[in-house]
Chains A and B, each alone.
Chain A
Amino acid sequence: EVQLVESGGGLVKPGGSLRLSCAASGFTFSSYSMNWVRQAPGKGLEWVSSISSSSSYIYYADSVKGRFTISRDNAKNSLYLQMNSLRAEDTAVYYCARASRDGYSYFDYWGQGTLVTVSS
């Protein structure tokens, strides 16, 4: 069974940093691109970042470019999101999501999410 479990969320002050983790199991993690998607309270979904299976290709939404860094450790079946210079508008539930391998780039499995709150 595919499982994605996020951790690392919490309360942080504006300008602070936080590192999110996503532990994957039930599939060959090293074969899949992975993504972070966030959802502000009461709002819709926003794609944040994507990383290819071997970390060769990395993409970010404009809203986080230069502040967030996505990475992965295939030996540990883990995905990460380093978030720096956090702003109030980064407050959201952050989901990790697996991307399909068939070229249509949909997200077929999602974690349960971890809440990040940026507030003084």
Chain B
Amino acid sequence: DIQMTQSPSSLSASVGDRVTITCRASQSISIYLNWYQQKPGKAPKLLIYAASSLQSGVPSRFSGSGSGTDFTLTISSLQPDDFATYYCQQYNSYSWTFGQGTKVEIK
């Protein structure tokens, strides 16, 4: 099974900061990498699919990059609504795996 390692597991940042979260796959997954945002008590929300495609309705301050084993989610200017937990997700051979999550907190 493919393992996904996210880093950091948590971070503190201020409104307006640029935030970067990384996700590493244990083997190449091409661009089968997605990013979700989850707020407490709520379902996850799709942000980025296929490594770098922005889901409809998601603000353009969110962007994704990478291919193969190394991927990045970037929030260009952190907004109050962005404080949440972020998960990467890979798809390979009819199996899906999530990273352990990155909690973005207010500094």
A110 touches B50 (CB 8 A): no
List the A residue with the shortest CB-CB distance to B44.
A110
Contact of B94 among A37, A59, A112, A113 (CB under 8 A): A59
Measured CB to CB, the closest approach of chain A to B93, in angstroms, equals 9
Contacts A100-B49, A104-B32, A106-B49: A45 and B91 contacting too (C-beta < 8 A)?
no
C-alpha spacing A46/B34, complex, angstroms: 14
Contacts A105-B32, A105-B91: A44 and B49 contacting too (C-beta < 8 A)?
no
Residues of B within 8 A of A105 (CB): 32, 91, 96
B:65-95 near A, CB below 8 Å: 87, 89, 91, 94-95
Residues of B within 8 A of A32 (CB): none
Contact of B43 among A50, A95, A104, A106 (CB under 8 A): A95
Tell yes or no: A108 within 8 A of B by CB.
Answer: yes
Contact of A104 among B49, B94, B95 (CB under 8 A): B49
Residues of A within 8 A of B97 (CB): 47
List the A residue with the shortest CB-CB distance to B51.
A104
Q: How many A-B residue pairs have CB under 8 A?
A: 59
Contacts A47-B98, A104-B91: A111 and B43 contacting too (C-beta < 8 A)?
yes
Measured CB to CB, the closest approach of chain A to B24, in angstroms, equals 16
Residues of B within 8 A of A61 (CB): 95
A:53-86 near B, CB below 8 Å: 57, 59, 61-62
Residues of A within 8 A of B46 (CB): 106-108
C-alpha spacing A112/B38, complex, angstroms: 12
Instruction: Indicate the member of B42, B46, B96 with the most A CB atoms within 10 Å.
Output: B96
B96 touches A47 (CB 8 A): yes
What are 11 sample pairs from A and B whose C-beta atoms fall under 8 A apart?
A44-B98, A44-B101, A45-B89, A95-B44, A104-B49, A105-B96, A106-B49, A106-B50, A106-B89, A108-B46, A110-B43
Task: Give the B-binding residues of A (Cβ under 8 A).
Answer: 35, 37, 44-47, 50, 57, 59, 61-62, 95, 100, 104-108, 110-113
Closest 6 CB pairs of A and B: A105-B91, A110-B43, A47-B96, A106-B49, A106-B34, A45-B98
